[in-house]
Each structure stands twice: as structure tokens, then as C-alpha cells.
Amino acid sequence: MPTAFKLTTAKGLKSEIYVPWTPKPVWTPLTKPLNQCKVAFITSGGIHKKDQTPFNTAGDWSYREIPSDTPSDQLMVTHGGFDNSDINKDVNAMLPIDRLRELVKEGFIGSLVPTFYGFMGGGGNVDKFEHVTGPEIAKKLKAEGADIVLATGGCGTCHRSCTLVLRCCEAAGMSTCIIAALPPIARQQGAPRITAPLVPIGSNAGEPNNPQMQMGILKDTLNAMEEFDHFGQMKALPYEYRHNV
Amino acid sequence: MSLSQETLEAHLNDPAVLCCRRPAGTVLSAADFEDPAIFPDLVDSNLMTLKEGGLTIQQALGATLINDGEALTQLTPDLLDGVKDIPSASDDDESDDSADTSASSDDGGPDSCSCCGTAGEIPTPVAQASAGGYVHLHLDKAEGLDLVFPAGGAVSGSCPAAPMTASPAASVPPAEDDTPADRVLRTLVKKDYPVTKVVIGSETSYADGVLTVDGSLVEAAKKADPLVKDVEMTVINPADRHVYSNTIMDVIPVAAKAEGKLGEGVTNVLSGAVFVLTGMDEAGVQVHEFGSCEGYMDEKIRYGRPGCPDDNDIMIRVDVKIEKGTGMERRGPFAAHSACDVIVHACREAIKNLDGVKPIGEETFKDVRRAGRPRVVLVKEIMGQGAMHDNLLVPTEPCGVKGGQKNVDLGNVPVVLSPNEVLDGGIHALACIGPATKEITRHFFREPLVEALQTDEELDLTGVVFIGSPQVNDEKTFVSERLGALVEAMEVDGAIVTTEGFGNNHIDFSENIAAIGSRGVPVVGVTFAAYQGQLVVGNKYMDAMIELNKDPEGFENEILADNTTTPDDAARAILMLKTKMAGIPIEPPEHKWDEAVIEANKRLVK
């Protein structure tokens, strides 16, 4: 170690490149064509079956198993982090369960896993989502044979909780993508893939009762997953819906 | 996304915005505010607008919401009861411009040097303890002079530098006087021989400035590899460059060892003519990956870049046609490079022995151990993902193919070359990436950072580490970790990490920088990012970055080597490293690529 030396320095130098701080990359390449993929959907937007225990809106890291053949009118939302009126009109605005079944029927995707997962990510406990909820959901989805895990966030902290769970799924060998209403948060938290329609939180998967938009967002997201070739990429989707609450 | 208590404290003077929907009557605390670090992104994506007259977090903290508030609502006095009357702090924050995220970089964790954050206002001289255990003494009047010595009593008796408590006036030692002598490890002399004319003839020879290339070498080149289907050779004089060409895969100088092995002794170099390898496959597909620079050669080459032909260079174009469909496999481009090397090698043979011929120039390069100066390492990330992405390390002849070890076969692990080995053609690049960002063979032969670091008497350049960018994510982590261990063993005081290209290799880039930075070694990163190559990953160690973009719009523009390292870029990177090693803060970047920042930094280079 030198004891005394001269260095030419300058005051006022500025770093020339903006660097987003993100966690370590985690990546599972998508290797199958979409029409052979088994697809899962998870949401941190507080969706559960009407006969299940509602979430604690002050913060809750538990999750609800939602069979993927559940009729959409048997689903509801319990979430205090955003205006619920859109989901109350049409739960597909957060968990597009009807559209996913249509995608299978169309042959656009291969099949759905038997079970989707709903949780309430608002104010989510980072440690629990990263080390308990995330690994549990990932393990179950992997066991059900998921190739692809799609997700919607909800509010800001929901996007964080959702991304933490998706990263667990990606690490467990599934290709994941978040449909983000708040893409900066998904990116900052290290989401492996992000698509971003211009939608408000509360209808992250598209305008309620607008199957065409919901379908478009899903298809564009799945197609983008085939294009993404490395961690952290994002694609803006050409859908816009404004909800003036 | 709500704030933690620690994050809150770093953002007290930033705008207060609700992170989530909050009911009337909520008494605002950390958990209710959105993280200001992502405001610029939110504003850019039209998710939020920031108006004048908003409250700061400090002002809004503890106040009560009058009505229900939606997520991403900016808090203004009319929305709250019990707002604290605290003057806005932004007035005296010199770097603040409304939605600026500068504060996000001030909370850079335990490794950032918060104690130096106000260096600009401190009366001179002043000594400060900084990260890495140094005392940083700054004198405003001795411009550009900073003395750095270890804090904590490790100063030896003969060291003229004073501990922090000493009188400042006594602490201005003539540091150079005590500098131990340089130790030259090896010397390389490049002798330049002029080429004023290139002709294709019946025998390869060099005499009186005329390089004659045996036309029948084309037939030998076709036999270099079964994948080679055709080879054509053309001489393109500087005045006749408006000729169409397939994409340019490489630029290769003619250099041959006259004495000694690579990195030492004498290398004879032809000055005024270079080989240019171009190629496509039998189906007419250009041999390229991300963007191609096929087109008119006067338009598609940034003449004068370290990797490119110079303004007055004669180009000997070797155009290779390879088997259909092999352009994006590793073996196809390798076959093209092997074919070209048959011809280049014949020229090398012709200049190996030029006894009695007078060179027009001579350059001497020395690998020097400069004891007593900060030890630095240059880390160069190269591509190792198959297809064209490979590099041959330390071939037998300068810039050659034969004898070179393939980076991909070595598993992309870090390999150390001496600076002289690099500058003596120790890398034959099969790189493709984008034409504008790729570092090709001639680039390494006159690498600006290697040349500048090697001759910098304030630094002790320990070596140049080449590390590949593997295709598989867990291999990326493996090689980055090995780099960290290597750098730890080298006991360096500073590092510069460069990468060619952009995209997934930026994952390696950020991991490589973290592997070094997390070991307490100041590190500067050098890459093309600008608009098209914006980083998607990053970490807190990437706080001193040099932008290589030269395109006005910030794009990978398909002009050969346009966005590669120049001597200007190298000078900024070295100044930034020295500044960072001295514990002087590097200001956080703008949120977006801004050419003005680069221009301002250039002006700070003396």
C-alpha cells in the first residue's frame, strides 16, 4: 500500500450514465412455443374467492389458492390500497381469468395450471414475501408444471410484493412477466420481465368489461416474453385506459 | 411503494407524494410516502405530475389528510391539516432541479463518503478521512494537487505526510522525491514501416513502401476451413472508398514479431495499410448479429477510431463467403477469420526480417512496476456467447489467429494479460455485437486505456484482465465472482471496468463492478449506454461511469467503431478513477443521458 503519492484529480466530475439500482438478475429463458406452455397467473391485487377469508388490509403476507376454473363471478377483491370500483365491475381487470381460459380455447397457450394465487401486496412485509410466501407459491406452481407465470401488481407496494414473488418463481425455473401499472417500481425491484400498458392501479390487466383490451394486453405480454432475451427488459404496450375515481 | 424510516431521512426535502390510497384522517408517516428515487421514472411514464407549490416530506410528515387521497397524489397544503412550517430546503440545494433524484445517491450506504459531501464549501486546506482508509487533504490553491495517505497511524516515520491533526501548512510534501524507482518488467518496440502502395501480384513481398500480396493466396484462404466457400481480395485506396461492402467483421493490422515473443522484443508493423475482413453467407445473409455495417465504405467506417482504418490507410479487403446458415454459429465467423489470416500471415512473413530497412517511426512500450503509486487494474469485458462472440487470447503472432486460446473454450473466466501483450496484438477479436460498439482487433492493438494507464506515472498498472460475458446466467455469476477473488488477490487500489456492446452483457458489467466495488476498491465503469443502451440493471458501486456514445441521437448507429473508447474517453475515465481513489465525490448522474455532462467532464481533463 503506497504511503504518499500524488494524484491529479478534479472537483465537479459527474457520473455520465444513469444507473438504476436493482437486485441481482434472476432469469429463466422461455424455451417452448407459447402454444405448448402451461401458464399460471398470480396477483398481489387482493383477489380471492368470495368464500375465502378476506385479506387483512393493514398488511398480509398470506395467500389464497384460486382454482383456475373458478367462475369469475365467484371472485372478489379485498384491498385498501386503491379504488376497488373497477374490480367490483369486472374482476378480469386485475385477474383476467376468463381471458386466460379463452386463450387456451384459442390454442394461443397450451394450458393453465390448476391453481392461481391471490395475495394482498399492499404494505407487504418484504422479508415474508421474499422468504416465505414467494418460495411457497413458486414451489407449488413448479409442482403444477407452470412454464410461464404472469402477474399483476396493484398499488405501489403491491408491485414490490408481486415482483418479490415473481423473482422466486423465476429462480425456481419458470419464466415470469409482470403486467405493470407502475413499471418503475417493478424495474427497481428487479422484475425479470415487464410489460406496461397505460392503465391505472386497480385495473392493471385492462379496462373492466373490455375483453378486447384485456385480451390484447395478455397476448402482447405473452408475445413480448418470446422477444425478451435477458433480465430486466420492459416493453410498453399500446393500450390506454384512464379511470377518474 | 412506501418508505422505510432510513429512506425517509434521506428524502426529507423531496416532494411528498402518497404511495397508496389513504383514507381521510390518516396521520402521515414514512409508510405513506412514495419513494422519490423513482419520481423521474413515474413522471416520464405519465403516471404522475409534480407541480409547483407541493410540500416536502418533512413538511407533510405528521400532518393529517383532510379527504381520501389516491396513490401518487402530490401533497399540497390544501389537502392536509397540521402542515409544519418548514422553509423549503430546495432553495439552497445547488444540485436540485425539481424532480431531481440526487438525494437517492446520497444515501449510498456505508461505502459512500458522506463526510466529503460538502467539499465545495470547506475552507482550505482541509483533511478528511474517506472510504478506504485514506486521509484526503485538499488545497484549493494548489490546483489539481491532492495528497492521499493512509489514515489510522500506518504512516511510516519517513513519510512526510502529516496525520490529520498536524498543521496543514506542514503537510505539503514533495511526494515525488520519495517515490521509489520504476521497475521495467519488459519492453516492446513497435517499428513502423510505411506502405504507400498495395498491389496484388504473384509473390508476397514488401520493398520500398510497396506491399505486394500474392493473388493466389485467395485459393489457399479458401482451403482454410471447409465452411469457407469463397474468398475475394480487393485493394481500396483512400481516394476510392465509395465502394459497396459486406458488413465489416474486423480490421487487422499487419504486424509480425521480429524479435522475442508477444509483448516484448520487436514487432514490425506496416503503417499505411490494414486488412479489412468482410463477410456474408452463401444465402446472402450478412455475418453480423445486432446491426450490420454493410454499405459504402466511405460512410460506414468511423475512420481514425483506434479500431478503424485511419484517414490515409489503404484497405486490403478480404471478403469471405461462408456456408449458408453458419453466420450465427461460432464456427462460421471463425472460419472467415481463419481464411483472412492465411493472407495476413503471408504478409507477416514478408516483414519479419527487415534488416537494413529504415523504419519511419518507432514506439516503445514498457510494462512498468511503479512502486509507491496506487495499484490499478483494467478489466475488459469481452463477448463469449458463441456465434461471433468470441475472442482469441494471445495468438503466436500479433493480431493473429493461430495459437490463440478461445475465450469461450476457456469458460469466459478472467485471464490476465500484461499491458504490452495487449498492445502487441494479444487479442484477435471475433466480436460482432453492434458495429458501432464492438472492439475489433486493431482496437486492442492500440487500446487507448491501456496506452494511457501504462504511461501514467501517477499509477501502477498491474495488468489487464479479460473476462468473457457468458450466455448462461449462473455462469455470469461464476465468472464475476472469480473476478472479485482475482482482484482481491491483486490488492489493487482502483479499477476501471469496460465493456463493448450493450444489452445482456450489462448484467455482467454490473456484476463485475459490484465484485470489485464490494471489496472496497474504487471502480469506474466505461460503456456505451446513451439512449439505446440504457442500463436495465445496476448497483450502488456504479456511481462513477463514463459514457462512450458519440452518436448525436444516442444510438448504435451501424458506423464501425463509432461508439468505442477514444483517447478522450480514456482520459476522463482515468481522471474519474483518480478522483474517486482520492475520496473526492463524483456527482450523481442526470436521470437521462445528457451530452452536456460529458462535455463538462471533458473540460475538467487538463
pLDDT in tens, A185-236: 898 899 999 999 999 888 999 999 999 999 999 999 999 999 999 999 999 9
> Across the interface, do B598 and A7 touch by the CB < 8 Å criterion?
no
- For residue A92, the 8-state DSSP code is G
| Residue A34 and residue A222 in contact, taking contact as beta carbons nearer than 8 Å | yes
> Across the interface, do B597 and A14 touch by the CB < 8 Å criterion?
yes
pLDDT band at A58 (very low <50, low <70, confident <90, very high): confident
Q: Could you tell me which residues come within 8 angstroms of residue A71 by beta carbon, excluding any fewer than 6 positions away? A: none
Q: What is the DSSP string of B270-305?
A: EEEEEEEEEEEETTS-BS-BSB---EETTTSB-TTS
Q: Which residues of A touch B373 (CB under 8 A)?
A: 2, 5
Count of residues making up chain A: 245
Q: Between A and B, how many residue pairs show a Cβ–Cβ distance under 8 A? A: 225
Residue ranges per structural domain of chain B: 5-106, 108-149, 188-351, 370-604
Q: Which helix (H) or strand (E) holds B333?
A: helix B331-351
**Which residue would you say has higher pLDDT here, B432 or A79?**
A79
A154: number of CA atoms within 13 Å, CB side? 33
Check pLDDT > 70 for residue B556.
Answer: yes
Q: Which helix (H) or strand (E) holds A183?
A: helix A183-188
Residue B342, classed as helix, strand or coil, is helix
Nearest neighbour of B38 by CB, restricted to A17, A184, A230: A184
- By annotation, the residues of B acting in catalysis are 432
> Across the interface, do A15 and B589 touch by the CB < 8 Å criterion?
yes
Q: Which residues of B touch A231 (CB under 8 A)?
A: 473, 504, 507, 536-537
A40 vs chain B: nearest CA distance in angstroms? 23
Burial of B203-222, coded b for 16+ CB within 10 Å and e otherwise, reads ebbbeebebbbbeebbeebb
> Across the interface, do B575 and A22 touch by the CB < 8 Å criterion?
no
- Looking up cell 419513494 gives B35
Average pLDDT (B153-166) is 35
Characterize the bridge pairing of strands B523-527 and B494-499: parallel
User: For a pLDDT cut of 90, what percent of chain B falls above it?
Assistant: 66
- Mean pLDDT of the residues in chain A: 94
| Residue B408 and residue B334 in contact, taking contact as beta carbons nearer than 8 Å | no
> Across the interface, do A1 and B150 touch by the CB < 8 Å criterion?
yes
**Which residue would you say has higher pLDDT here, B600 or B477?**
B600
Nearest neighbour of A10 by CB, restricted to B155, B598, B604: B604
**pLDDT tens digits, residue range B323-339?**
998 888 888 999 999 99
Exposed/middle/buried for B283, CB within 10 Å: 0-12, 13-18, 19+?
A: exposed
pLDDT band at B238 (very low <50, low <70, confident <90, very high): very high
A104 vs chain B: nearest CA distance in angstroms? 31
What is the C-alpha to C-alpha distance for residues B55 and B147, in angstroms, rounded to an integer? 43
Chain B touched by A234 (CB under 8 Å):
yes
Q: Which residue of A has its CA nearest to B42?
A: A184
Q: Which residue of B has its CA nearest to A243?
A: B70
- Mean pLDDT of the residues in chain B: 85
Q: Which residues of A touch B510 (CB under 8 A)?
A: 19
Check pLDDT > 90 for residue B479.
Answer: yes
φ, ψ of residue B222 in degrees (nearest 5): -65, -25
Check pLDDT > 80 for residue B385.
Answer: no
| Residue B258 and residue B349 in contact, taking contact as beta carbons nearer than 8 Å | no
Q: What angle do CA B536, B496, B547 make, to 5 degrees?
A: 50
B interface test, pick of A5, A22, A120, A125 with most B CB neighbours within 10 Å? A5
What residues does B182 pair with on adjacent strands?
B370
Chain B touched by A146 (CB under 8 Å):
no
Average pLDDT (B12-23) is 89
What is the C-alpha to C-alpha distance for residues B577 and B524, in angstroms, rounded to an integer? 6
B58: number of CA atoms within 13 Å, CB side? 12
pLDDT confidence of residue B161: 37
A46 vs chain B: nearest CA distance in angstroms? 14
> Across the interface, do A13 and B606 touch by the CB < 8 Å criterion?
no
Q: Could you tell me which residues come within 8 angstroms of residue A196 by beta carbon, excluding any fewer than 6 positions away? A: A179, A180, A181, A183, A234, A235, A236, A237, B45
What is the C-alpha to C-alpha distance for residues A22 and B537, in angstroms, rounded to an integer? 6
Q: Which residues of B touch A3 (CB under 8 A)?
A: 149-150, 154-156, 159, 161, 372
> Across the interface, do A15 and B536 touch by the CB < 8 Å criterion?
no
Average pLDDT (B245-250) is 95
- How big is chain A by its Cα radius of gyration, in Å? 19
Interface of A with B in 41-80 (CB under 8 A): 80
Nearest neighbour of A160 by CB, restricted to B1, B493, B589: B1
**pLDDT tens digits, residue range B593-603?**
999 999 999 99
What residues does B499 pair with on adjacent strands?
B381
- For residue B306, the 8-state DSSP code is T
Q: Which residues of A touch B46 (CB under 8 A)?
A: 198
Q: What is the DSSP string of B89-155?
A: GGGG-TT--SS--HHHHHT-GGGS-GGGTTGGGSPSSEEEEETTTEEEEE-SSSTTEEEEEESSS--
Its pTM stands at 0.81
Identify residue B310 by its one-letter amino acid code.
D
What does the block give as the cell for B350?
A: 514478408
Residue A23, classed as helix, strand or coil, is coil
Check pLDDT > 60 for residue B177.
Answer: no
For the beta carbon of residue B52, count every other beta carbon within 10 angstroms: 6
Check pLDDT > 80 for residue B148.
Answer: no
Nearest neighbour of B588 by CB, restricted to A6, A15, A156: A15
Chain B touched by A244 (CB under 8 Å):
no
**pLDDT tens digits, residue range B349-382?**
999 999 999 999 999 999 999 999 999 999 999 9
Q: Could you tell me which residues come within 8 angstroms of residue B596 by beta carbon, excluding any fewer than 6 positions away? A: none
> Across the interface, do B598 and A16 touch by the CB < 8 Å criterion?
yes
> Across the interface, do B536 and A231 touch by the CB < 8 Å criterion?
yes
User: For a pLDDT cut of 90, what percent of chain A falls above it?
Assistant: 78
Torsion of CA B202, B203, B205, B210, to 10 degrees: 0
A232 vs chain B: nearest CA distance in angstroms? 6
The full set of domains in chain A, from first to last, is: 34-240 (3.40.50.2300)
Q: Which residues of A touch B588 (CB under 8 A)?
A: 14-15
> Across the interface, do A5 and B590 touch by the CB < 8 Å criterion?
no
Query: What CATH number matches the domain at B370-604, 3.40.50.2300, 3.20.20.70, 3.40.980.10, 3.30.470.20?
Result: 3.40.50.2300
B419 vs chain A: nearest CA distance in angstroms? 21
What is the C-alpha to C-alpha distance for residues B56 and B50, in angstroms, rounded to an integer? 12
Identify residue B165 by its one-letter amino acid code.
T
Chain B touched by A242 (CB under 8 Å):
no
Ranking B166-180, B390-404, B413-427, B459-473 by mean pLDDT, the lowest is B166-180
B120: left (phi over 0), alpha (psi -120 to 50) or beta: alpha
Check pLDDT > 90 for residue B403.
Answer: yes
Q: Which residues of A touch B161 (CB under 8 A)?
A: 3-4
> Across the interface, do B41 and A183 touch by the CB < 8 Å criterion?
yes
> Across the interface, do B20 and A82 touch by the CB < 8 Å criterion?
yes
What is the C-alpha to C-alpha distance for residues B590 and B547, in angstroms, rounded to an integer? 12
Q: Which residues of A touch B374 (CB under 8 A)?
A: 2, 5, 7
| Residue B348 and residue B256 in contact, taking contact as beta carbons nearer than 8 Å | yes
| Residue B469 and residue B461 in contact, taking contact as beta carbons nearer than 8 Å | no
Q: Which residues of A touch B159 (CB under 8 A)?
A: 3-4
> Across the interface, do A4 and B1 touch by the CB < 8 Å criterion?
no
pLDDT confidence of residue B288: 78
B92: number of CA atoms within 13 Å, CB side? 5
Q: What is the DSSP string of B223-263?
A: TS-TTEEEEEEEEE-GGG---EEPPEEEEEEEEEEEESSTT
Span between the terminal Cα atoms of chain A, in Å? 63
**Architecture of the B5-106 domain:** Alpha-Beta Complex (3.90)
pLDDT band at B75 (very low <50, low <70, confident <90, very high): very high
Identify residue B179 by its one-letter amino acid code.
T
